Amino acid sequence: MLKQLRDLHAQALDELDKVDNSRELELWRVRHLGKKSTLTEILRSLATLPLEERPKIGALANEIKKTLESSLEEKKKLLQEALLSSPQKSARLDVTLPGRALPIGRLHPTTQILNEICDVFKNMGFQVIEGPDVEWDYYNFEALNIPEHHPAREMFATLWIDTDVGGKARLLRTHTSPMQIRMMERERPPIRVIVPGRAYRYEATDATHESMFYQVEGLAVDKGITLADLKGTLFDLCRCLFGEERKVRFRCDYFPFVEPGVEVAIGCSGCDGAGCRLCGYSGWIEILGAGMVHPDVLARVDIDPELYSGFAFGLGVERIPMLHYGIDDIRLFYSNDLRFLRQF
Ligand code: FA5
């Protein structure tokens, strides 16, 4: 038995010498130190040996086991070192290589322009607030002088959520103007706020119309506010956004909640006013509706129209970068095409 153990030891070391990769090393471990190896079987059968042989054989078997285990660890280390220093393999494991670059995110073009618009108004002393996308009929229409069956409801193709909730109907706001009422209910003049947010319309989309788009509502109420203040504020905004050169057009328009009402359009950047698909061949792109807050609207929120007056406007946000960069289709903004979004 002692001779068998010594032979086994010599053979194992001899085989270990020839091992040159980790897979072979694992096979060697199973063969010589595994549960079914001869050495383990000898150790397990010690109890069946004659009493006088047991100590010698037991001591030798245990010593061989220890030396094989430490030889195994040494070999493992040697193989790892060889792997790191071999020119071919170390090329694959070059720890000095820089990490993989993470793609850098950026702000959506709408967010960028919203930030820019908010900055312009903050510099003029306006406060920035937000309001709910799901709105009551009262705020979206009734309080803005658009009662049920009023023909002006046709101007705002509405996405209704429910038509009768305890006598009140809910909808996705068709414009940011409901926030005029919420703001005037909450605060007393002087008021100067802008409200960036989404608006929704149930209408066919085309190059300049989306069913979900952003608006920025503006409202200023105080003693002695006139149409000249509205014009001055909006001219300033257009200059900040488009520069001194771009043509700005003011025209009369009708909105039931303002009197008088105006519409502001910008000379089309796609064709320089000559007419193209982007501007519907008119040379102009309408960017906002505005006007002097209607006295009935002021009275409804308990602001005396004899003492106070105000102006309001609602700006279409996507149309600004469209004019700025000559983007010829609003639908590109929300179709999630990274090739488009990465340009901004
Ligand atoms: C309104 O929404 C009024 N609430 C604006 C207003 C506010 C008037 C305060 C008076 C006082 P209008 O429907 O015209 O008005 O929309 C205003 C702007 O939103 C438009 O000039 C346009 O730039 C943008 N807009 C309107 N509909 C769409 C649409 N479907 N897709 C993209 N932009 C739109």
Over the stretch 21-35, which tens digit does the pLDDT of each residue have?
A: 889 999 999 999 999
Choice from 145, 171, 175 to test ligand 1 binding pocket (greatest atom count within 8 A of CB)? 175
Domain shared by 79 and 116, yes or no: no
| 152 and 296 both lie in a single domain | yes
List, for residues 248-280, the tens digit of each pLDDT value: 999 999 999 999 999 999 988 778 888 887 788
Per-residue confidence (pLDDT) for residue 301, from 0 to 100: 97
51 shares its domain with 150: no
The answer to whether the beta carbons of residues 298 and 264 sit under 8 Å apart is: no
CA of 228 to the centre of ligand 1 (A): 21
Helix 2-18 × helix 22-33 angle, to 10°? 170
Span 128-138, average pLDDT:
96
Give 146 or 279, the one with higher predicted confidence.
146
125 belongs to a structural domain: yes
pLDDT at 141 over 60: yes
Host domain of residue 65: 2-89
Answer yes or no: do 60 and 135 share one domain.
no
| 73 and 113 part of one domain | no
| Distances 157 to 173, 177, 192, 202 between C-alpha atoms, Å | 10, 15, 29, 5
Compute, in angstroms, the gap from residue 199 CA to the centroid of ligand 1: 9
Encode pLDDT of 191-202 as tens digits. 999 999 999 999
CATH code of 203's domain: 3.30.930.10
Q: Place 316 in a pLDDT band, splitting at 50, 70 and 90.
A: very high
Q: Are residues 136 and 79 in the same domain?
A: no
Q: Is the pLDDT assigned to residue 90 strictly greater than 70? A: no
Same domain, 257 and 217: yes
Confidence of residue 323 (pLDDT cuts 50, 70, 90): confident
49 C-alpha vs ligand 1 centroid, how far in Å?
Answer: 100
Q: What rounded mean pLDDT belongs to the chain?
A: 91
Calculate how far, in angstroms, residue 144's C-alpha sits from the geometric centre of ligand 1. Answer: 15
Atom number in ligand 1 closest to CA 263: 21
- Cα of 62 from ligand 1 centre, angstroms: 89
Are 282 and 150 found together in one domain? yes
Structure tokens at 4: 């068998």
Given 60, 89, 118, which residue is the final one in a domain?
89
- Per-residue pLDDT, averaged over 131-135, amounts to 97
**Within a domain: 314:** yes
In a domain, 117, yes or no: yes
Domain tally, the chain: 2
Shared domain for 21 and 77, answered yes or no, is yes
- pLDDT at position 93, please? 74
Nearest CA to ligand 1 atom 12: 289
Mean pLDDT of 310-328: 92
- Test site for ligand 1: of 159, 217, 255, 315, most ligand atoms within 8 A of the Cβ: 255
> Please, which pLDDT band fits residue 332 given cuts at 50, 70 and 90?
very high
Ligand 1 mean position to 259 CA, how many Å? 16
Pocket of ligand 1 (CB under 6 A): 175, 177, 201, 203, 209-210, 213, 215, 255, 258, 261, 286-291, 312-314, 316, 318-319, 330
Q: Which of 42, 311, 102, 27 is nearest to 194 (CA)?
A: 311
Confidence of residue 88 (pLDDT cuts 50, 70, 90): low
One domain, residues 77 and 132: no
- Tell me, yes or no, whether 94 lies in a domain: no
Residues 19 and 117 in one domain: no
Atom of ligand 1 nearest to the CA of 219: 9
Hey, whose CA ends up nearest to atom 27 of ligand 1?
Answer: 209
C-alpha 200 – ligand 1 centre gap (Å): 11
In a domain, 102, yes or no: no
pTM of the predicted model over 0.75: no
Question: Mean per-residue pLDDT for 173-183?
Answer: 98
Give the confidence band of 94 by pLDDT, cuts at 50, 70, 90: confident
Do 69 and 199 lie in one domain? The reply is no
Within a domain: residue 55? yes
101 domain residue, yes or no? no
